[in-house]
Amino acid sequence: MKKNRTIAILTGGGDCPGINAAIRGVAKKAILKYGARIIGFEDGYHGLVRNRYRELDYDTVSGILTLGGTILGTSKTANPYKYATRKGDALEFPDVSDTALRNFRETGAECLVCIGGDGTMAVASRLSRDGIPIIGIPKTIDNDLRGTDVTFGFDSAVWIATEGIDRLHSTADSHQRVMIVEVMGNTAGWLALHSGVAGGADVILIPEIPYDSDRVADAVLARRKMGRRFSIIAISEGSRPVGGDIVVKRMVQESFDPIRFGGIGFVLGREIEEKTSISTRTVVLGHLQRGGTPTPYDRVLATGLGTRAVDLIERGEFGCMVAVKGNGLGEVSLEEVAQGPRTVPADHPLIQTARDVGTSFGD
């Protein structure tokens, strides 16, 4: 990397703990080692389309390591190739990628660092093919990005979800209830699986294993016969019964991922009460899982991914995403990342571990 060059950064998709740590990692290394100028596009790809960006100097990125969210703002509705635009009462989706490409080039930036999840990386892959030098950094609480063993934000969300499950044990026991904890995860059950195991959930339901509500009810009743007066169920928002459908909370037409999941916990709760006559309550953790300060693990991981991105920029290795590979960091092509989510395999060791301690998956 030549001295005094410009690097652009944007953060897309849902927010999560650790984004600011990644921004800091990129910016501080590039500034200290190369004297680089750092600019940040605001509100994800909206900033690229609308040419909104600001300078990120050393002072700007200092003190943000522990800060949740993203100092640049983000969006889940901005896709330059299908850009939601209101014309009267109609919603249109023109391709404005030429504008995004022109705006990027006019900044004089050497490359664009995209911090985001699957939607952000899918757009980044197309922009890369169209000529923008791009490096991706993987973030998502769902941990479902292809090509990396883990994403930052996941550990923080597991901690939050696990604490929620922990706190519900006492009230479930006091009232002899079934408590259902609905966590995020629309196509991948990593969050429910890890927090469920960590929180000692008696039933864990994930999108990859369609459940039978009769089996879930049987697991609850079996605990009653053993003298266990309560049961805890961890369920991904994208879980569905065998032969049934997912529960859609609402549709956001402006988004390139318009389906918003939510409510499966309430559906299951009603079924359990009908089948067992046991009082059942559902708690949806929702956006609590995205907020707050990142865990130490996520701070370290996001910082490492950010500084590794600068190494790739230095070598001119664009069109790829920094990835966690075993105990180290590597890279994977954006084209591979864009092929779809990384779901929980049926033979994953943690599923067997959960089954070994008596956890039901409703199958």
- Cβ proximity of 30 and 310 under 8 Å: yes
How far is the CA of 40 from the CAs of 10, 21, 209, 314, in angstroms? 6, 14, 40, 19
Q: How far apart are CA 107 and CA 243, in angstroms?
A: 52
Instruction: Please give the order of strands across the beta sheet that includes 109-116.
Output: 53-55, 37-41, 6-11, 109-116, 134-138, 320-325, 328-333
Active-site residue identified among 15, 43, 142, 144: 142
- Classify residue 5 by its DSSP letter: -
The answer to whether 197 and 160 have CB atoms below 8 angstroms apart is: no
HSE of 66, CA atoms in CB hemisphere, 13 A = 2
- Site of tokens 């969050």: 191
Active site residue 142: yes
Count the Cβ atoms, other than its own, within 10 Å of residue 315.
10
Dihedral angle computed from the Cα positions of residues 356, 357, 359 and 363, in that order, rounded to the nearest 10 degrees: 20
The pairs formed by 222-230 with CB atoms below 8 angstroms and a separation of 24 or more are 224/276, 224/278, 228/202, 229/173, 229/176, 230/169, 230/172, 230/173, 230/175, 230/176, 230/177, 230/178, 230/179
Residue pointed to by tokens 């060791």: 349
Q: For residue 305, what are its two tokens?
A: 């991914």
What does the alpha-carbon distance between residue 284 and residue 297 come to, in Å, rounded to a whole number?
A: 25
Question: Under a CB-based contact definition with an 8 Å cutoff, are residues 110 and 289 in contact?
Answer: no
Give the Cα separation of 234 and 359 in Å (integer): 11
Pairing of strands 37-41, 6-11: parallel
H/E stretch holding 282 reads: strand 280-284
| Catalytic residue annotation | 142
